[in-house]
Chain A
């Protein structure tokens, strides 16, 4: 089955700086890669996703890049704000069947 690894497990940045979270996957058949943000006591919420036919996608301060050859994808958050503090999960899926999640990155934005 698919194996998704995520780094780092914790990340602290100063407000206004950028944050980068990286994930690798093992199954070359995976073709859909969403990122989720989870706040305490809540379920994960989608923040951005990318499909395997696209190399990069951006939505305001958030961007995701995908390197299919190397089987890795990354989340970039620019101009971080305190409300960006949360746990972030990457995931990989083949056509929306099982979604395999990384172990999470706890991001702290220091005001």
Chain B
């Protein structure tokens, strides 16, 4: 399977702990996106990369969140000092886009539960 893979699928953590998620995009894709989805809502944009450059970050994203995409391949999303409100599904998506808009290919997400 050469789709987008995310690890872990589920993560339970105590409030105040740090967590890190990994996303492996489709190998030839240049763009990588992180979204957050809560129950009954659509995906909410967090940030995206073109190759290794982080091009945009949501204003809603607190400074406890950081994302990296070293060498333009896999990406990590870290949440520091987790809060109960961080409980959500974290989705990663990738695309090959040269500026005209291309479909996002999503992984199956990492479900985070903060207790």
User: A residues bordering B, Cβ < 8 Å?
Assistant: 4, 6, 31-32, 34, 36, 41-46, 49, 51, 89, 91, 93-104
Contact = CB atoms under 8 A, between A and B. Distances in A.
Given A89-B42, A89-B43, A93-B101, A43 B33 contact: no
Interface residues of B, number: 29
B41 A104 contact: yes
28 contacts: A4-B42, A32-B100, A34-B103, A42-B109, A43-B4, A43-B93, A43-B106, A43-B109, A44-B106, A45-B106, A46-B104, A51-B100, A89-B43, A91-B42, A94-B101, A95-B99, A95-B100, A96-B95, A96-B97, A96-B99, A97-B55, A99-B43, A99-B45, A99-B104, A101-B43, A103-B41, A103-B42, A104-B40
Contacts, number: 67
B108 A41 contact: yes
* Residue from B35, B42, B95 with most neighbouring chain A CB atoms (10 Å): B42
B15 interface: no
Contacts of A91: 42
Interface in B18-75: 31, 33, 35, 40-45, 48, 55-56, 58
Nearest to A30: B101
Given A43-B91, A43-B109, A95-B99, A100 B104 contact: no
A103 B40 CA distance: 7
B11 interface: no
Nearest to B93: A43
